[in-house]
Amino acid sequence: MPELSLQKALNLALQHACEDDDRVLIFGEDVGTLGGVFRVTDGLRAKFGEDRVFDTPLAESAIMGMAVGLAMHGWRPVPEIQFDGFSYPAVDQIVNQMARMHYRSRGVLNMPITLRLPSFGGIRAPEHHSESLEALFAHVPGLKVVSPSTPSEGYHLLRQAIADPDPVIFLEPKPRYWQRESFDPTEPVEVLPPGTSRVVREGKHATLIAWGAMVARCEQVAELAAEDGVELEVLDLRWLKPIDTDGLAASVAKTRRAVVIHEAPLTAGLGGEVSALITERCFGDLRAPVQRVTGYDVPVPSGELEEQYLPSVDRILTAVQTTLEYRRG
């Protein structure tokens, strides 16, 4: 069984999508000749030609405007914006066109667009290169939002996103591009429907809820906690819109304690929505308030300071300790 990195798994997903459907188009800044900043599209232009894999001007609003027009005419665009923070100039097209066109046309026009966004921190990049925009996009009606945590998840979720008739924001965790995993993308597997979470590790004392690169960090925390006899369940949310409310509730109802971890700032982050869902569904089961471990309410710092910003193993362990020690008055 081959060992693939997330970068290579995504590359294969794009390759197989192009082979299976002639309507799939891949485009963005430097995705053609260069193969993308992270080489996710490497070799695709040579394989499928410049009519299907092509470079665009350095204009994110134009990239997304073109994607909307192509989708209206029956294509399945897969645009890439080089870094998450570069998507701000395209918010008008994403929110007012891509997300609304199906509704505005009373169901006549589908928007099968998959916007690939290298996302989150962890690579010590400059400003605007390490944003966490899941809450922004999840708030917009009409958009689906998903983030893989492993190479196999990346392959299957990207294939699923491209085949979806609705617009999908595909958030790729940059520090996990080089993570490797043994799996065969040609092997048939059961593909869970959109809006389905995944229990990565079974536990009974508390549930850690995360997505993207933070899933691996939560697995580290669970390993350390196990040395002290604490069994933590790790839930990979996967789909951030729609959220798997049933799966979320089932895990927390079992462990009766929850810690939500994400890289975005605390205020109005997606962790607040997850916490509200847990409270609504599991209020009678909870033995402690939901804890959140997040980034801070400041711009993501670059360089060495980034590690002080991102949720660390120690900060997550402290939150676990807080929820385990909580006693109702």
Q: Which residues are catalytic?
A: 129
How many whole angstroms separate alpha carbon 153 and alpha carbon 239?
Answer: 11
How many whole angstroms separate alpha carbon 296 and alpha carbon 311?
Answer: 9
Q: Reduce the DSSP state of residue 249 to 3 states and report it.
A: helix
CA dihedral 54, 163, 174, 79 (to 10 degrees): 30
Closest CA to 264 of 225, 304, 297: 297
Bridge-based pairing state of the strands 3-5 and 180-182:
antiparallel
How many whole angstroms separate alpha carbon 239 and alpha carbon 134?
Answer: 10
- Total residue count of the chain as it appears in this document: 329
CA distances from 169 to 65, 108, 111 (A): 15, 21, 12
How many whole angstroms separate alpha carbon 132 and alpha carbon 153?
Answer: 19
One-letter amino acid of 259: V
Q: What angle do CA 233, 237, 241 make, to 5 degrees?
A: 160
Are 140 and 88 within 8 A, CB to CB?
no
Bridge-based pairing state of the strands 53-55 and 24-28:
parallel
